[in-house]
A and B are shown apart, each in its own frame.
Chain A
Amino acid sequence: EAQVTQNPRYLITVTGKKLTVTCSQNMNHEYMSWYRQDPGLGLRQIYYSMNVEVTDKGDVPEGYKVSRKEKRNFPLILESPSPNQTSLYFCASSLWPSVTDTQYFGPGTRLTVL
């Protein structure tokens, strides 16, 4: 089954404790992306990657890191989380956003930083 998986699905942590949210897709997609969704602000792109070893900043990259060492995985790293990073995070993948008409979203990770 074609899917994007994220782990963990829910996480409560404390300020400053490094964490990683994993994202994996099984569709051999080139393009992967991370978003955060906050009430009243919609979905905002954090980072995206056109292919292995190629990553670019989206609209809200501050406080986040990513890596793309393999095509299927695109982890999101918060080196020193802060309360303003409390949000719902989605990972997504597609061939390319405009070449294909489907971007597959993961189920979301709800992160709370105390």
Chain B
Amino acid sequence: TQLLEQSPQFLSIQEGENLTVYCNSSSVFSSLQWYRQEPGEGPVLLVTVVTGGEVKKLKRLTFQFGDARKDSSLHITAAQPGDTGLYLCAGFRAGNMLTFGGGTRLMVKP
């Protein structure tokens, strides 16, 4: 059982559609991060959310941290083929150790 559960695991959509990816846990995290990983490369940090209820926007990407700091969501508006990749959420827990979710593989078809 993973500490952070991501859903869906796989998502295939058409260009222009909107989507939301969820990251849930029964544990409280001091902060949550979202990463994007492309094939053959390491994860790259997109955003860090720290405050419960916080919303951050990065162009067409909107990140939200749950009020109780146990969950987060990533919403992409008008997805583009360049958004294709593996999206990982990660949270800091005791000992400043970063724990990753299982990832969501997104494919955006032109």
Chain A bound to chain B: no
Interface of B toward A, CB cutoff 8 Å: none
Interface of A toward B, CB cutoff 8 Å: none
